Amino acid sequence: MRNMARFLLRRLVFVCFLIIGVTFLVFMISHLVPSDPIASNMSPNAMSDPAAVAAYKARWGLDKPLMEQYFIYLSNLLRGDLGTSIRTGNPVISDLKQFFPATLELSIMAMLIAVLFGITFGIISAVYRNKPFDYLVRTISISGVSIPNFWFALVMLLLFYSKWQLFPGGGRVSSRISAPTGGTGLYVWDALTSGNWALLNDALSHLILPAIVLGFFTMGLISRQTRSNLLEVSSLDYIRTAKAKGLSQRQIVLRHALGNALIPVITVMGMGFSNLLGGMVFVEKIFSWPGIGQYAYLSATTLDFPAICGVSLLIAMVNVLLNLLIDILYGVIDPRVRYS
Amino acid sequence: MKKRKMLWSVICLVMLTLAGCGGGGGSTDGSNDGGSSDGDKTLVVGMASDLKTLDPHHGYEVYGNMVYYALYDYLYRTFDSSTPEPSLAESHELDDSKKVHTFKIKEGVKFSSGNELTSKDVKFSVNRVKNLKSNTSHHTENVENIETPDDYTVKFTLKEPDAAFLVKLANNSFAIVDSETVKEHGGTDAEDASSKDTAEKWLNSNSAGSGAYVLDKWKQNEELSLVKNDDYWDKVANDKVICKEIPDVNTQIQMLKQGDIDIALGIGVDNVSQLKDQEGVKIKNYVGSTTTFLLMNQDEKIGGPMANPKVQEAVRKAINYEELLKISGDQAVLPLDIVPKGFVGGLEKGKDYQDLDEAKKLMEEAGYKDGFDVKFTVANFDTEGMSWTTLGQKIKDDLEKIGINAKIETSEIGVVIDSYREGKEAFLMMHWHPDYMDINNQLVFLPGDTVGERAKWTDTSDTKMAELKKTIQTESDEEKRSAASEELQKLLANDMPYAFLVQHPKVLAYRDNLKGVNYYEVQKINFQDVSIN
Amino acid sequence: MKRLLKQKNFLFKLGLVICALWVIVAVFAPLIVPKNPLAQDMMGRFLAPGSSGHLLGTDELGRDVFSRVLMGSRVSITAGLVTVCITIVIGTIYGGIAGYIGGIVDDIMMRFAELIAAFPPLILAMVIAAALGPSIFNSVLAMTIIWWPNYARLMRSLVITLKENEYIVASKVLGASHLRILVKEIVPNALGSLLVMATLDIGNAIVTFSGLSFLGLGTQPPTPEWGSMVSDGVNNMNYWWISTFPGIAIFSMSIGANFVGDGLRDYLDPKIKNK
């Protein structure tokens, strides 16, 4: 137990340090911006008014030395104030609040698909090793890991929406249904909890295609990792004993090997999720999904540095926290890790 | 064994559910065609807008007036691109000094709050814009003072005579808001409005207007919904309008094909081909008013060889306008220079304007027989669906023939605009979308004026030009104005730091069960006219 | 056919062939393109594949898609290779030093590396490339910045395991210098794993670079490159060939690299080897 506590503490301390480091890094990078944000965000009329320009500069601390600007930013951060987006004119925090649920919903679904199919495929592949099914699954998995996801999204949209009309096109809900407000912002959850089956059906159907595209890479990753872990474990002594005892390959894999093999897969999920957050940018763009990925892209390309800081921070934190969770999970399951 | 069976059944169940949802979603989507399930006439529009604010006194975006026209009333409105029509104004008088405009406004017009629209609301609105110093305030600069002799009369006194005043009234800087309601929510028209006014936030979720619609909901970058104003003084042909943000053009096309949206606003000349011969869809091209042009910096330190007037003329002569026209689609126009077709006195180029020999000769005379390299800034943008990178590559190709090696550098539009406004660009592609439909707005290209400054064209000593400018700005006689306009264009044609490329058509694609659909430069679609069958 | 497929290293060989083919194409592109990849033809825009000498059709400016795909391999593959090479060098030196010295230096160094790795790769790359200005150089720079921590971590863990290795300890006892140990014992052992990671990464690097170009941050027009070509075709999906073929190119190169990497890993991994 003491080891567990120490382990947790070490990880938490590290995470705090990481978050601070992230804010610093993000702040520094976004100030690499060579152009002047004033001219692109103030009206020509206002720019000729020195008082308005001075007020604008003061608001952003643009005339203070860089380090001081950073500390101003940090102190605001602790108070929950992420500044105001130059592009949208809204406080960054409310922008993020608006767009985050969409991305959360999409990533949860994508991870679900990735994990479910990934592990299943990995198991099938290992059990039916070197049979045609194995080759099929391995091809799919390796495609998942290799395919450029922006292209994959386009192709899927083209086929499943334009050509075969099996799935609806972009957006979170059909164009004739007004977007629901309030609730958690997670349409599927809100629909479930309020018993709105029509909305549930609609939101789910819009969610599937982008989720599949987004989760494809992670699915491939998990599938491959599961397969190789299973095979690796299968060559271990206790498995050989089982084999000697006369158990079939199937029984060995499922009853004895699976448990141990799945552990390292958890770490792969962490990496997969990280990749998911990146792939988000393309998928959201192509599927008109109003989420953080689109926001990040628009902020980055318009050099909207408060928004860039805000969104990078959010994404990095989500990534860090998730990996922390996975580390803890791993530590709980595998005692060896705790003692390292 | 058991475990495996369980695993399989779980998987199958999940897959079935997913497939079921997907299939179900697909079929319900295809069955709609104008109007939602409960019988309401709802118009659904797909767009990729730049909407930043629903406060008409702050708005400066291309899609702004589409919303403001629907929510608020104006003294005048533009439909056809050149003539403003009286809307709220019942009568108009101009005095001999040409500086005092007196209007009588309609009686009995009610705001959505129940308050009656009177002259004090007009005065409040215009003063608010003036004192807000917002992106749209410069349109009201010329207004010296406003008087309200009675509840239904408004008197504007201008600083200088302005031939385009009526057209300006049709711009959102003159939208009339409910002064009582706006004041209640932090609005003010006092001199310190730029720091004290806080009504914008409220106006982003509520409308304080007397227009055909009332704002129902606005989720920036997602959707906007408007509901019919039952007390509106004119006809409204539908009950509800939903504008969905669909940044991906292909998605718009697909949704239009399947009837998920009734009108697609984001379609451009290049992808409209996907909809030709499509059942249930109508396509119409309209002459637009947005022109794309090349800017060549007059300041030698910035523009380098591009500052040389001979080089500038060579560039103008080198471009293959016939091919430009071809790629720009049906209803594209080649304006001679600053005045687009449809504006007073607008002249066009002949398709055979290009003269490669002349261009090469000019290059030689300028001392660049062997050509030169230059950075060519082309933003990642498109004008009415026409991609700038496509145009840019075409121009680059044309210029190569006379020895100019234009190195294309792309960037996001916001970044380029910032640099362009500071006059830092040597050679760039830009567009001009008129704020209001009058030639006065196009005079910004002249030396010393807005765009002129950006090209570092500061020499205002040409008296002829100044004279023509003044005539155009203040002359109320159409014929005299037109003559002055033509003369000015001819004066500029071979002597300016610009090369005007093309005046882009607007493509509108919509379901054929709609009536009353027309495209207008200012408000895009006049929602109240559109009926669904 | 069945027997061919069943061959254990069939995929490895296939991957090798694909990669080799693309590399040859990239090297000899200017000589083998049937048409000038930059030649515009306003009369022949959007021609379908197979029409009048254009094997894969033409794009929005009438340029031959086939030639552009061939030529595009140069930028895409070079960018990917350069990124991986630089990141290997930086990463291994960094990780090697951290692992070898150990202790607090190791802690600090690795924390910094993990800081960078905390960002989802694309987001950071996007921000850097946008801030520095879109260009091939800046995109490659952005990618190297986000990628080197992976190699640093790998190298470090390799070094740490190897440090405890009996041979190393013995060498130390016998008086061998640090440098000698590094070069003679550690590097050769690490090489295998590094090579595997590198080959698997090349595909990823090419995909990421084309992704950045797709967003407008990498290659500038009119240079042909797979990612920006896919983006060119996005607004013209009914002329599907403009986006599809460059996409297939990226896909094939990536999958080829993955096959090779997989094969290498299987070969070098003693556990599977002994099965």
Look at residues C256, C231, C240 and name the one whose alpha carbon lies nearest to residue C77. C256
Residues in Cβ contact with B152 at an 8 Å cutoff, skipping those fewer than 6 apart = B104, B105, B106, B107, B118, B119
d(CA A138, CA A123): 11
**Which of chain B's residues have a Cβ under 8 Å away from the Cβ of A287?**
248, 251
The per-residue pLDDT for A256 is 63
Cβ atoms of B396 and B373 within 8 Å: the answer is no
Residue C78 pLDDT level (bands cut at 50, 70, 90): very high
CA distances from B347 to A103, B326, B474 (A): 51, 19, 21
The per-residue pLDDT for B156 is 93
Q: Which residue has the higher pLDDT, B221 or C16?
A: C16
pLDDT at C146 over 90: no
The pair of three-digit structure tokens given for residue B280, joined into one six-digit string? 């249930």
pLDDT at C86 over 90: yes
The DSSP H or E segment spanning B532 is strand B531-532
Instruction: For C123, name the nearest residue in chain A, comparing CA atoms only.
Output: A278
**Which of chain A's residues have a Cβ under 8 Å away from the Cβ of B137?**
43, 45
**Which of chain A's residues have a Cβ under 8 Å away from the Cβ of C211?**
148-150, 282
Other beta carbons within 10 Å of B89: 22
Cβ atoms of B498 and B296 within 8 Å: the answer is yes
Please state the rounded mean pLDDT for residues B200-224.
89
Radius of gyration of chain B (CA): 26
Least confident of A138-147, B32-41, B375-384: B32-41
d(CA C238, CA C248): 17
The per-residue pLDDT for B225 is 92
Look at residues B480, C236, B519 and name the one whose alpha carbon lies nearest to residue B530. B519
Give the number of A-B residue pairs with CB atoms closer than 8 Å: 164
* Residues in B 387-426 with any Cβ partner in A closer than 8 A: 412, 414-415, 417-419, 421-422
Question: Nearest-CA distance from B281 to chain C in Å?
Answer: 16
Question: Nearest-CA distance from C128 to chain B in Å?
Answer: 14
Q: Which residue has the higher pLDDT, B531 or A23?
A: B531
Q: Which residue has the higher pLDDT, C168 or A10?
A: A10
CA distances from C113 to A21, A188, A284, C146 (A): 11, 38, 29, 9
Does C268 contact chain A (CB < 8 Å)?
no
Instruction: Catalogue the E-assigned strands of C86-129.
Output: none
- List pLDDT tens digits, range B43-70: 999 988 878 889 999 888 888 889 999 9
pLDDT at B396 over 70: yes
Give the number of A-C residue pairs with CB atoms closer than 8 Å: 140
* Residues in A 89-128 with any Cβ partner in C closer than 8 A: none
Residues in Cβ contact with B440 at an 8 Å cutoff, skipping those fewer than 6 apart = B162, B163, B164, B167, B472, B473
Share of chain C above pLDDT 90, in %: 20
Q: Which residue has the higher pLDDT, B199 or B266?
A: B199
pLDDT at B29 over 50: no
- CA B142, B146, B151, B153 dihedral sign is negative
**Which of chain A's residues have a Cβ under 8 Å away from the Cβ of C229?**
none
Least confident of B223-232, B370-379, C148-157: C148-157
Does C60 contact chain A (CB < 8 Å)?
no
Look at residues B298, B291, B292 and name the one whose alpha carbon lies nearest to residue B312. B298
The per-residue pLDDT for B450 is 85
**Which of chain C's residues have a Cβ under 8 Å away from the Cβ of B392?**
221
Residues in Cβ contact with A333 at an 8 Å cutoff, skipping those fewer than 6 apart = A263, A266
* Residues in A 268-287 with any Cβ partner in C closer than 8 A: 274-279, 281-282, 286
Least confident of B74-78, B86-90, C195-199: C195-199
Question: Nearest-CA distance from A328 to chain B in Å?
Answer: 26
Does B43 contact chain A (CB < 8 Å)?
no
Cβ distance of B133 and A98 shorter than 8 Å: no
The pair of three-digit structure tokens given for residue A61, joined into one six-digit string? 């601390």
Instruction: For B416, name the nearest residue in chain A, comparing CA atoms only.
Output: A40
Residue A132 pLDDT level (bands cut at 50, 70, 90): confident
**Which of chain B's residues have a Cβ under 8 Å away from the Cβ of A123?**
7
Indicate the SS3 state at residue B145.
Answer: strand
The per-residue pLDDT for A32 is 61
Instruction: Select the residue from A165, A176, A208, A250 to test the B interface by mutation, using most B Cβ atoms within 10 A.
Output: A176
The per-residue pLDDT for A31 is 65
Look at residues B186, B185, B181, B199 and name the one whose alpha carbon lies nearest to residue B115. B181
pLDDT at C266 over 90: no
Does A197 contact chain C (CB < 8 Å)?
no
Does A337 contact chain C (CB < 8 Å)?
no
Q: In what order do the strands lie in the sheet with B427-432?
A: B213-219, B223-228, B240-245, B42-47, B263-264, B498-511, B281-296, B427-432, B372-379, B404-411
Residues in Cβ contact with B193 at an 8 Å cutoff, skipping those fewer than 6 apart = B128, B131, B132, B133
Alpha-helical (H) ranges within A248-304 are 249-251, 258-286, 292-301
Most confident of A62-66, A277-281, B356-360: B356-360
Residue A52 pLDDT level (bands cut at 50, 70, 90): low
pLDDT at B23 over 50: no
Please state the rounded mean pLDDT for residues A182-208.
78
Please state the rounded mean pLDDT for residues A133-138.
83
Cβ distance of C215 and A312 shorter than 8 Å: no
Torsion of CA B383, B387, B388, B391, to 10 degrees: -110
What is the residue whose two structure tokens read 């939101």? Answer: A203
pLDDT at A168 over 90: no
Q: In what order do the strands lie in the sheet with B100-105?
A: B89-94, B100-105, B153-158, B143-150
Which residues on chain B place their C-beta less than 8 Å from a C-beta of chain C?
248-250, 253, 268, 270-271, 273-274, 320, 323, 326-327, 378, 380, 385, 387, 389-390, 392-394, 396-397, 408-412
Q: Give ∠ CA C215-A224-A166 in degrees, rounded to 5.
A: 55
Q: Is B357 exposed, middle or buried (0-12, 13-18, 19+ CB in 10 A)?
A: exposed
Does C124 contact chain A (CB < 8 Å)?
yes
Cβ distance of C120 and A275 shorter than 8 Å: yes
pLDDT at B90 over 80: yes
Q: Mean pLDDT in chain A?
A: 76
Instruction: Select the residue from A33, A141, A150 to test the C interface by mutation, using most C Cβ atoms within 10 A.
Output: A150
d(CA B526, CA B241): 11
Please state the rounded mean pLDDT for residues B365-375.
90
Which of C121, C132, C255 lies closest to A142 in CB terms? Answer: C255
Radius of gyration of chain A (CA): 24
Indicate the SS3 state at residue B95.
Answer: coil
d(CA B532, CA B509): 15
The per-residue pLDDT for C34 is 85
Q: Which residue has the higher pLDDT, B230 or A243?
A: B230
The per-residue pLDDT for C219 is 85
Distance of CA A55 to the CA centre of its chain: 37
The per-residue pLDDT for B20 is 46
Cβ distance of C216 and B412 shorter than 8 Å: yes
Least confident of B208-212, C107-111, C184-188, C239-243: C184-188
Q: Mean pLDDT in chain B?
A: 85
Q: Which residue has the higher pLDDT, C28 or B273?
A: C28
Residue A176 pLDDT level (bands cut at 50, 70, 90): low
Look at residues B137, B153, B142 and name the one whose alpha carbon lies nearest to residue B191. B137
Look at residues B376, B371, B427, B374 and name the one whose alpha carbon lies nearest to residue B403. B371
- List pLDDT tens digits, range A304-313: 777 887 888 8
Please state the rounded mean pLDDT for residues B106-125.
91
d(CA B30, CA B257): 9
Q: Is B185 exposed, middle or buried (0-12, 13-18, 19+ CB in 10 A)?
A: middle
pLDDT at C4 over 50: no
pLDDT at C270 over 60: no
The pair of three-digit structure tokens given for residue B353, joined into one six-digit string? 């304007």
pLDDT at B216 over 60: yes
pLDDT at B465 over 60: yes
Please state the rounded mean pLDDT for residues B87-99.
90
Residues in Cβ contact with B77 at an 8 Å cutoff, skipping those fewer than 6 apart = B69, B84, B85, B87, B170, B522, B523
Cβ distance of C222 and B411 shorter than 8 Å: no
The pair of three-digit structure tokens given for residue A84, joined into one six-digit string? 């105001």
Residue B260 pLDDT level (bands cut at 50, 70, 90): confident
Look at residues A24, A93, A75, A12 and name the one whose alpha carbon lies nearest to residue A321. A12
The per-residue pLDDT for A306 is 76
The per-residue pLDDT for A250 is 67
The per-residue pLDDT for B1 is 39
pLDDT at B38 over 50: no
User: pTM for the full model?
Assistant: 0.79
Q: Which residue has the higher pLDDT, B265 or A263?
A: B265
pLDDT at B251 over 50: yes
Cβ distance of B18 and A40 shorter than 8 Å: no
d(CA C146, CA C151): 11
Sort strands B153-158 and B100-105 into parallel, antiparallel or unpaired: antiparallel
Q: Mean pLDDT in chain C?
A: 81
- List pLDDT tens digits, range A144-167: 888 888 899 888 887 887 777 777
The per-residue pLDDT for B262 is 93
- CA B71, B73, B74, B76 dihedral sign is positive
pLDDT at A234 over 80: no
Question: Nearest-CA distance from A275 to chain C in Å?
Answer: 6
pLDDT at C249 over 60: yes
Residue A130 pLDDT level (bands cut at 50, 70, 90): confident
